[in-house]
Structure 1
């Protein structure tokens, strides 16, 4: 079950960590071909997660962020890592369902702790919605490919990109609000509840990012109305959110809808126009089932549905008064910040 080329490295890890050369039991948890390998192993009667990272990536950054999170009580205890062999052994979380009503409080509290940690290392490539704010060849190519693919009708593509330009124009001018980010919390599998504590797992995408990015992708799953939004943000900020915080949060939620719509429609459709004759679930219904682990994004059809529900929700949001109001509030903040910078004396 363990890949033969990793057998010696796993044996070394077991010996250094537990003083044994084999486990008592093993269960393969690998999601699908191409995923990093994951196994539940039993050693001396206790369960651990053995992870073999097969995808390319910076293991030093990955393990550094994971260890920092574990030290803060956010991630399971780290028993062993080898950057050379790309292997880690951590405590195994026996997960139970976390009701969305409880998640509204537990997750922002965990993110508040995470975002207060010392800065995480940077990453060579941004796989979150803030990628859409990083001007350069990668972003230009992504947008050009989406426009040329005709995945959506031309009028819808142009509407999406026009609204995107509005959000990017005001958001990119804001003072950065960077914090240690998990950056892969659109997947409910990365937030595990053991019946007592919430654990954040799989730190492969962690890096220093806009603090609102983590907040937004989770909220897009579990926050369904304004009251829940206020509860969620108050738990994160430690006090009721002000007008600017709510506006900035709202805009990055829309940026997340844009990013996941474009990314997953492209992935699921192989860059070709999609068949829209089949109805998709309502956004809230899909996310409720996604949160409950009743649906996955493993195949192309599921990816296409996921992209479509983000697009449908974004289409509704773009026509709401709150969209333009959030743009105005954040734009006004930009004007204040830029005016302050002009007034500040320059360094001698």
Structure 2
């Protein structure tokens, strides 16, 4: 892989619902070669957050991958197929549901501040990296849609800690098809301070726009852990704030990455993904644009399209793993030489 590469390839709003913490039977995800576990952590705000992990049973993982789900989604069900593919390719996968999402605590669909979400993810995933059994392993971030934006923000907290990122239709800018008129945005921004939990933001049905395959749309709609309905006022404000701020700071991204976007994506803006590729400081970066594909590249396309996407993702990850890593080499040196200077 060169220094850079461009590839063109194929409810009632008045009722507050508190999401409880659930455990699904681990056997539902277990196979002969994959171990699945669920758990929880408590964040600094007293919320219980759901966590999960998929590990290869019969081999030491070649690297760690930390997954970030999209807005209104969750890890253990909607991203299961993604995790299984990556574990079978030799990686260890770790996930967390954000506050107000999936099986984590909080008012369903409500995020008061996405900076807190970034802190939650960073704290949990960093703790995993620092476990004895994970010392000496590469660390990758993988985020889809909003998760792509959060992955980039996690990287910005510790610019030298992470070894690479897979960004799938990252929400560096909300597409015009789902963004309200500027006048409406101004009104809703003011209202978000008064009635933050209300679900009155006018927007198109994201599920219909995101996933090409009808069966996937139905699966998301029937998944009890996926939030349905219009965005809550404060959450909508935070989504807009985070994406707008990130769009202005794309040139500060410095880790190796591959960014993938569907040519017919109507949820996040593919032109900003290309802009990220063009302006980021990253010494190793790749942009993949898939003509005809929609927003949900990881599980919302026909099987033949998903195979193409994962072939590109796994191929890129394997190249990074094979190419060596200065951060990892310095850590190993420091561990064997107490006088060595760490660079991170």
TM-score by length of 2: 0.29
Q: Which has the larger radius of gyration?
A: 1
Report the structure, 1 or 2, having the larger helix content. 1
Task: Return the structure number with greater strand share.
Answer: 2
Q: TM-score, normalised by structure 1?
A: 0.29
RCO (CA 8 Å, sep 6+): is it higher in 1 or 2? 2
